[in-house]
């Protein structure tokens, strides 16, 4: 027999710590889903607290507030007439009476999902597999769950697991199959990185087959510090067919009617079975909740759409816009300021800022020195004219001369002084007007230390921090092409894209004076930073040995600079900071050869 069920996946943008605001979002989207006739409504991982909460998870007051919010939301859903819908919402759970144990997170916090029905929390599920790699430190924050909750609603058995639970074989997914679940809901806080949407689709297809059930994957959207969440919620059948898919980077509901196998046997409505160990899965027990055994009368089904995938450059650009917009707005800023050099990095940063915040909230400052070329000044002005951002010119030569008069600097110290005067100027404008300063450096420069501390590295956020230089050019060309396709003025001047990059801190200076060609540099960075390959592997791959040793030394010795750089949105597999963590004091160099034997004695 087959039963019908209308499912709503709520792809929302919560804010870490804003439990009241997030609860209001859950209620608002639940009402919207109910208006569309949804019987089951699912929200992302940790939707009530935001994600990731980091050390807030260890604070008893925060755990208590999250638990109280779940109860309050359940009661309000009933008061709003939505008590007959099953609402699944991610939250921070904990054990108020947990005895402190050495090596166990305080309060035994759990990354949990609550089952809300009839005005009550009728069931809970705690994440079983805790990720502890890349940007994740969940061993530090949570204790794992050991049971799978299966709720029977309108004659369909619905199981719920959380994010990492489907990235590993067996475990709760295997338990869901053993439990005979007709629908497996996966709630997620899965951060964006390039090409991850393809990996997700392959994964949910495999897990739907493993569970032997339709799988519905709901993910959050929005930015949280360095992380960006892209949504991309998906529903697939047991055969791997994509039934519905939500857009990336957009809040909204994915509502779909599903035809699912009805659950065998009868249980007393509202009862909870005793824990039943799942065969061959001794660490997981199955808990069953019977909410409604009766199938729904047949009704005309809705057909959900499959949102088209967007091209790589559009996807990355959307991630940058989302990360910047939410960092600014969630931290209470209303405007940003950045230096406009006429170069490609500041031009792309400005375009991202205008798209994220609106031109009236973006302030660009041209700060020419005695070495600034006329085309750099005119390119900065043209960018401002194209984008409509707020623009001013602050010549720095008199300030630089004042420093020189007291310090008599030469060489690199003199060059860096110009960058530091610019940084001080931007910070002064920030203090005066409340702007957030945007750093404009890219990942390639940051990797090799080609930036000035307290100069072009100053700021509160760095939109291009994880964007290699070659991708900066590609994104800029894409953004202009996209504007032309929509009949709009391309935001970035052609000269900013085509001219050789230069810091313009001395006469005739070019980046190529200090760095390899960016195409080569970025390829080396991809091997060394993203894939952790050593110098020997790079040389074997065809790179010149002296070049490899030179670049790797620059990367290794620039760690202290990277630690002082502002946060920026993660778009790659291994971003500096959260992903790639290297010691500052570090004598290891990749060109070293290990000793052939240990010294005697």
> Which pLDDT score, from 0 to 100, does residue 508 have?
66
| 326 has a pLDDT exceeding 60 | yes
Of 302, 264, 298, nearest to 4 by C-alpha is 298
DSSP state of 529: I
**Look-up: residue for tokens 């689709």?**
201
Query: Is the confidence at residue 19, as pLDDT, over 50?
Result: yes
Residue 119 confidence (pLDDT): 96
The CATH T-level fold of domain 312-510 is: Rossmann fold (3.40.50)
Lowest-confidence pick of 30-34, 204-208, 242-246, 496-500? 496-500
For residue range 328-352, list pLDDT tens digits in order: 999 999 999 999 998 999 999 999 9
The continuous run of DSSP H or E covering 149 comes out as strand 147-153
Q: Which of 323, 404, 399 is nearest to 356 (CA)?
A: 323
Confidence of residue 278 (pLDDT cuts 50, 70, 90): very low
pLDDT digits (tens, 9 = 90+) for 424-438: 999 999 999 999 999
Across the range 285-295, mean pLDDT stands at: 92
The partner residues of 336 in beta bridges, in order of sequence, read 362, 436
Interstrand relation of 183-188 and 156-162 (parallel, antiparallel or unpaired): parallel
pLDDT value for 596: 42
Lowest mean pLDDT among 300-309, 458-467, 481-490: 300-309
What per-residue confidence (pLDDT) applies to 506? 58
23 vs 294, residue with greater confidence: 23
Q: Which residue do the tokens 């963590």 mark?
A: 581
- Model pLDDT for residues 513-559, shown as the tens digit of each residue: 778 889 999 999 999 998 889 889 999 999 989 899 999 999 999 99
CATH code of the domain occupying 2-290: 3.60.110.10
User: What is the structure's pLDDT at 276?
Assistant: 46
Mean pLDDT, residues 149-153: 96
Maximum CA extent, the chain: 89
134 falls in which pLDDT band (50, 70, 90)? confident
H helices within 438-544, ranges in order? 443-448, 469-485, 494-498, 518-525, 535-540
Is the confidence at residue 373, as pLDDT, over 80? no
pLDDT at 374: 78
> Helices 344-357 and 374-387 sit at what angle, rounded to 10 degrees?
20
User: Tens digits of per-residue pLDDT, 398-422?
Assistant: 998 898 888 888 888 888 898 999 9
Decide the pairing of beta strands 86-93 and 40-42.
parallel
pLDDT at 29 over 60: yes
Nearest C-alpha neighbor of 37 from the set 79, 6, 73, 3: 6
SS3 215: strand
- Which residues are catalytic, by number? 45, 127, 163
- Whole-number pLDDT of residue 20: 97
Integer Cα distance of 339 and 347 in angstroms: 9
C-alpha 152/C-alpha 575 separation (Å) is 42
CA distances from residue 129 to 112, 145, 249, 284, 372 in whole angstroms, order as listed: 12, 8, 26, 11, 55
Average pLDDT, the chain: 90
Segment 353-358 long-range contacts (CB within 8 Å, at least 24 positions apart) = 353/324, 353/389, 353/438, 353/463, 354/387, 354/388, 354/389, 354/491, 355/321, 356/321, 356/322, 356/324, 356/325, 356/328, 357/324, 357/325, 357/328
Ordered by start, the domain boundaries in the chain are: 2-290, 312-510
The string of pLDDT tens digits covering residues 65-92 is: 999 999 999 999 999 999 999 999 999 9
On the 0-12 / 13-18 / 19+ scale of CB atoms within 10 A, 373 is middle
> What would the pLDDT profile of 95-122 be if each residue is shown by its tens digit?
767 776 777 777 789 999 999 999 999 9
pLDDT tens digit string along 211-252? 999 999 999 999 999 999 999 999 999 999 999 999 999 999
pLDDT of residue 117: 97
């Amino acid at each position: 027999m087959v039963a019908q069920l209308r499912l709503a996946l709520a792809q929302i943008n919560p804010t870490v710590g804003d439990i009241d605001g997030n609860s209001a979002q859950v209620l608002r989207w639940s009402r919207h889903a109910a208006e569309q006739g949804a019987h089951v409504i699912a929200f992302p991982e940790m939707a009530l607290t935001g994600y990731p909460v980091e050390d807030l998870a260890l604070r008893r007051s925060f755990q208590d507030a999250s638990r109280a919010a779940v109860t309050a939301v359940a009661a309000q859903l009933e008061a709003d007439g939505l008590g007959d819908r099953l609402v699944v919402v991610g939250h921070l759970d904990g054990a108020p009476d947990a005895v402190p144990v050495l090596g166990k997170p305080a309060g035994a916090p759990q990354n949990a999902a609550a089952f809300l029905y009839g005005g009550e929390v009728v069931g809970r599920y705690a994440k079983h597999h805790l990720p502890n790699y890349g940007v994740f430190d969940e061993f530090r924050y949570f204790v794992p769950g050991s049971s799978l909750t299966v709720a029977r609603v309108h004659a369909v058995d619905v199981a719920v697991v959380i994010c990492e639970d489907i990235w590993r074989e067996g475990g709760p997914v295997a338990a869901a199959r053993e439990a005979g679940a007709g629908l497996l809901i996966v709630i997620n806080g899965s951060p964006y990185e390039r090409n991850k949407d393809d990996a997700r689709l392959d994964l949910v297809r495999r897990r739907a087959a493993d569970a032997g059930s339709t799988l519905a994957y709901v993910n959050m959207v929005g930015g949280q510090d360095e992380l960006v969440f892209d949504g991309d919620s998906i529903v697939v059948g047991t055969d791997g067919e994509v039934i519905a898919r939500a857009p990336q980077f957009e809040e909204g509901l994915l509502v779909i009617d599903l035809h699912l196998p009805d659950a065998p046997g009868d249980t007393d409505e509202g009862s909870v079975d005793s824990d039943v160990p799942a065969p061959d899965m001794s660490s997981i027990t199955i808990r069953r909740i019977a909410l409604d055994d009766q199938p729904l009368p047949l009704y005309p089904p809705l057909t959900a759409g499959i949102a088209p995938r967007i091209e790589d450059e559009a996807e990355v650009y959307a991630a940058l816009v989302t990360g910047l917009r939410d960092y600014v707005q969630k931290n209470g800023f209303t405007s940003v300021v950045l230096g406009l050099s006429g170069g490609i990095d500041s031009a792309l940063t400005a375009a991202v800022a205008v798209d994220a915040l609106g031109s009236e909230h973006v302030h660009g400052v041209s700060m020419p020195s005695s070495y600034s070329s006329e085309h750099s000044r005119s390119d900065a002005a043209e960018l401002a004219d194209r984008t409509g951002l707020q623009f001013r010119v602050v010549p720095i030569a008199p300030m630089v001369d004042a420093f020189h008069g007291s310090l008599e600097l030469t060489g690199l110290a003199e060059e860096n002084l110009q960058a530091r005067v610019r940084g001080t100027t931007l910070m002064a404008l920030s203090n005066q007007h409340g702007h957030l300063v945007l750093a404009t450096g890219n990942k390639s420069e940051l990797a090799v230390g080609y930036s000035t501390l307290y100069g072009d590295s100053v700021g509160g956020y760095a939109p291009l921090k994880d964007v290699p230089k070659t991708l900066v050019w590609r994104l800029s060309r894409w953004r202009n092409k996209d504007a032309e396709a929509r009949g709009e003025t391309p935001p970035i001047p052609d000269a900013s894209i085509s001219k050789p990059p230069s810091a313009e801190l001395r006469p005739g200076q070019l980046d190529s004076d200090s760095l390899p060609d960016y195409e080569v540099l970025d390829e080396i960075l991809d091997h060394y930073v993203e894939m952790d390959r050593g110098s020997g592997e790079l040389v074997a791959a065809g790179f010149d040995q002296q070049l490899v040793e030179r670049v790797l030394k620059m990367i290794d010795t620039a760690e202290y600079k990277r630690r002082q750089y502002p946060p920026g949105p993660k778009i790659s597999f291994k971003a500096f900071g959260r992903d790639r963590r290297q010691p500052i004091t570090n004598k290891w160099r990749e060109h070293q050869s290990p000793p052939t034997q240990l010294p005697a004695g």
